[in-house]
Amino acid sequence: MRPEPGRRILIEAGEIRVSEEPEWLAVCRSEDLGEDEVVRFDHGGVVYAVYRTQSGLYATDGICTHNHAYLADGLVMDDIIECPLHQGRFHIPTGKAKSSPACVDLRTYAAREADGNVLIGLSRA
């Protein structure tokens, strides 16, 4: 069995699974995303938000689940992003809605750095 590019075959406890490797896309240069900052990243008609907090690099949906506001215009406070429109808050590492009026969680995505770039890991279609 030969996996398609971007997929790996894993054998665990006698079971064969196909693992999806995310597609890693460059968001910005590492020096352009400072601590407690967030940047907007658009790809495939979807808006993402990519953060550097004191605890690491993270990525979430880029539009608030309460209404249509770009989270990259919001305020990063430790591991919290505050929406610029109605000040709803989300926990960045988990995407959990933390304060009203935001009550629906954000999706989260993998993020890392390589070769001086900030990368987001998105599932392959």
What residue ranges bind ligand FES (CB under 6 A)?
64, 66-67, 69, 83, 85-86, 88, 101-102
Taken in order 46, 41, 63, 19, the sign of the CA dihedral is positive
Of 101 and 121, the one with the shorter C-beta distance to ligand FES is 101
- Whether the CB-CB separation of 22 and 121 falls below 8 Å is answered with yes
Token pair for 122: 């998105």
Token pair for 83: 């929406």
Least distance between ligand FES and beta carbon 43 (Å)? 21
Least distance between ligand FES and beta carbon 37 (Å)? 19
Of 25 and 85, the one with the shorter C-beta distance to ligand FES is 85
CA–CA separation, 13 vs 96, rounded Å? 33
Of 69 and 122, the one with the shorter C-beta distance to ligand FES is 69
Least distance between ligand FES and beta carbon 83 (Å)? 3
Strand partners, 39: 50
